[in-house]
Amino acid sequence: MILSAKALSLFSAGSILRRASFREGIIMEETENRRQTCCFTGHRPEKLQVPESLIVEKLDLAIQTAICNGYRTFISGMAKGVDIWAAEQVLSFRKCNPQLTLVCAIPYPGYERRWDQKWKTRFQDIIQTANAVHYISQKASYRVYQARNVWMVDHSSLVISVYNGSKGGTQNTLAYAKKQPGCAIEVLTFP
């Protein structure tokens, strides 16, 4: 069951991230410092010329390093490719470390509607088990994607990225993150 965007949008601006967890009809809230929050950005599969398994391997190592450095909350923008792969890895780590939190920052309800069934299933599996789902807007628009990226960076002190130098949302997110004080960037590259 998914709550309305209003019920799940329990996030405040600034350095404190409020998390909502929906389990058996109860919303539980707790706070988390931005210093312990990491978000992901990266290309969709069609822009990458690298097998999923290689990207997931590097994401796995980057997430493990972030956890070792004290990061406990991870935000995924839930786009096909890097965002979904990273979210799946966080959920995998959460099985052994229940202190980890996954927040799904989704541009708008129905965002995945036009995807093929394989990606829709992965998307739905993630949001059903995530600690929180945050909808940026109630409707689709060109601007909502960058608004999602800004929201993720504004609530994080680390951005883990898979970036191949091409123009688009990943490039824009990294450019924005570079301008934010106290925001570290880790770019995973592939030969």
Segment 178-189, tens digit of pLDDT? 999 999 999 998
The rounded distance, in Å, linking the Cα atoms of 167 and 115 is: 22
Is there a domain that residue 86 lies in? yes
> Is pLDDT above 90 for 7?
no
CA triplet 36, 81, 101: central angle to 5 degrees?
Answer: 25
CATH number of domain containing 149: 3.40.50.450
More confident position, 5 or 101: 101
pLDDT in tens, 41-59: 999 998 998 999 999 999 9
Provide the residue range defining the domain that includes 142: 35-188
C-alpha separations of 68 from 71, 72, 93, 97 in Å = 7, 9, 12, 12
The whole-model pTM stands at 0.84
Is 63 part of any domain? Answer: yes
Q: Is 22 within a domain? A: no
Residue 184 domain-assigned? yes
As for how many domains the chain has, the answer is 1
**Structural domain includes residue 49:** yes
